[in-house]
Chains A and B, each alone.
Chain A
Amino acid sequence: MTTHPSKIGTVIILLFIVEVALFAGLLFHDRFRTAQAQRLQDEADVMQELRLTDLCLATESRHTRNIALPDLMAPFQDVPGYYDHFPSSTFLKPPKGIGGFSR
């Protein structure tokens, strides 16, 4: 039994169209989400009111909790000889000029 090429071609083209439509739908769906814009605005308001400088990306240690304004000695302040915090310390890069008083 043979299958006509046009049938398989139609299936492949349909699959392709469905994938493109699905992906485009996902992209544009979020552009029109007002809840997302409202959340961003509210978060910005809270940041402004509380004057928070950092995102809560990791709470393992002080220098990874407040990466933008860290305590200069923070990585080694918890206990003398303490192992470095993992994995956040491994992946977090200190801000530029952290070695000096002014940046």
Chain B
Amino acid sequence: MSRWINILGFTTLLLKRYWRSTLSLIIVYSIIVFAFASVLMFIQSLSYEAGIVLRSLPEVWVQRVIGGRLLPIDNDLTAGLAKIRGVSCVHQRVWGYYFDEGTGGVFTIVGSDSIPDGLTIFAGKGLTSFDTAGVAVCGTGYLELHGVSIGSDIILTDTERHLRTLRITGVFTSSSDLITRDLIVVPYGEARRLLGIGNTSSTDISIDVTNPDEVETVVRKISQRIPNVRVVTREQLISTYQSLFGYRGSLFLFGLMISLLAFMILAWQKASGLSSKEQREIGIQKAVGWSIPDIMIQKFCEGTIISFNATLLGLIAAYCHVFFFGAPLLKPFLVGWSVVYPDFHLLSHLELSSIVLVFFLSVIPYLAATVIPSWKAAISDPSEIMHA
């Protein structure tokens, strides 16, 4: 035990002696870990949130497709869909895009008659089935671009160029920007007028299935009975997002892996081409009685102190960057350069496997890159090393 303590003491003295190079190494090392861990945390947080909120959706979605284009779907189909065994609820969705000429932004208009009050992500009065026209609930995108708030009147243009005045009765708070940023929620009748969708059709249809095991059967029956439709399941929606984050994250990680590799090559080169001073040190250590295992332990301690400190600093910085400051270095690549800038707040979520991955990719290669070349130097003859 005292042998280890003595070697550790000697290592700390060496680190103090070369504190400038040690500090610069830790800074560069931390920056690389920071970049790598930031991407992991960013993608993992989005993926986690998407996985949870998408789980609450209906199991099946039906869209009408003619000639490769989406068209409104007839409401008459609803009765036929409701008769399929296993279907518990059929819901006609009315939604579409609204180009705001004043700002150049594109918003999403959604028809609804039920936004419950009392949600933490909502302020004001929700919509009910008694609201038929003249009211709206907005996300922060519209509010910020137009400088309006609850109680303000807004003017939207319908497809026949008529102006519609709506009073904002409620707003979604910024904490839900990831799903509500560009929304303008209005009663169904108002949505139909604004989007030009007649009373006999809807944008698409969502279907709740009682038994999740029957989803594939329900999908098959819909595809067989109704022509020209695209049927999408909830699992496909979720897998789209999981693969999206995997794909996008992989693009970033691929670039960062190259940086990591470049750093490791640098560390290897530095360690393998031990300077004459370092070689002489090893020679002196051997000459005064250090054994090869002693030198290995000393180099291992040095590498461990540097790599663990740098990795932890990088992880802490990445955590603060992503979850406290909202990932300002990464978000622009994801959200695009649109007028309605999605300024979402990331949920802090980090899995143990990611931390292990970062440590594995960061610490092990560095230790290998420092210990192995030192071992090569240590097994050489001391006089040979000192005369080299």
Chain A interface residues (CB < 8 Å from chain B): 3, 5-6, 8-9, 12, 15-16, 19-20, 22-23, 26-27, 30, 33, 35-36, 38-40, 42-53, 55-60, 62, 64-65, 67-69, 71-73, 85-88, 91-93, 95-96, 101-103
Contacts and interface: CB of A to CB of B under 8 A. Distances in A.
B308 A16 contact: yes
Interface in B110-125: 110, 112, 114-116, 119-122
Given A45-B119, A96-B236, A103-B230, 7 more contacts: A26-B319, A38-B120, A39-B347, A42-B119, A43-B176, A56-B177, A93-B247
Given A67-B244, A85-B336, A95-B240, A19 B181 contact: no
Contact of A72 (B65, B115, B204): B65
Interface stretch (B210-218, B338-346, B368-376): B338-346
Contacts of B120: 35, 38-39, 42
A55 B48 CA distance: 12
Interface in B301-321: 305, 308-309, 312-313, 315-316, 319
Contact of A47 (B56, B68, B309): B56
A58 B88 CA distance: 33
Interface string B143-158: 0000000000000000
Interface string B222-256: 01000011111000110111011001100100000
Nearest to A22: B316
Contact of A46 (B121, B305, B312): B121
B23 interface: no
Contact of A96 (B69, B228, B239): B239
A65 B179 contact: no
A59 B106 contact: yes
Contact of B70 (A36, A50, A52, A71): A71
Given A19-B309, A39-B121, A49 B112 contact: yes
B178 A59 contact: no
Given A16-B308, A36-B348, A59 B338 contact: yes
Nearest to B331: A57
B334 interface: yes
A53 B61 contact: yes
A88 B119 CA distance: 31
Given A9-B9, A72-B70, A51 B206 contact: yes
Contact of A58 (B121, B241, B316, B334): B334
Contacts, number: 222
B244 A93 contact: yes
24 contacts: A5-B12, A9-B8, A16-B305, A39-B120, A42-B122, A43-B49, A43-B53, A49-B114, A49-B115, A52-B110, A55-B179, A56-B139, A56-B183, A56-B342, A57-B46, A58-B336, A68-B237, A69-B232, A71-B70, A87-B337, A88-B338, A91-B334, A96-B239, A96-B240
B13 to A, nearest CB: 5
9 nearest A-B pairs in the assembled complex, by CB-CB distance: A5-B9, A88-B336, A44-B56, A19-B312, A8-B12, A30-B348, A60-B336, A58-B336, A60-B338
DSSP class of A's interface residues: helix, strand, loop or mixed?
A: helix
A20 B308 CA distance: 10
Contacts of A3: 13, 16
Contacts of A47: 53-54, 56-57, 179
B369 to A, nearest CB: 21
Given A15-B309, A26-B319, A103-B232, A40 B335 contact: no
A96 B241 CA distance: 11
Nearest to A64: B336
Nearest to A94: B240
Contacts of A57: 46, 178, 334-335, 342, 344
A93 to B, nearest CB: 5
A59 B387 CA distance: 67
B146 to A, nearest CB: 15
A39 to B, nearest CB: 6
Nearest to A85: B336
Nearest to A33: B348
Contacts of A33: 348
B97 interface: yes
B190 interface: no
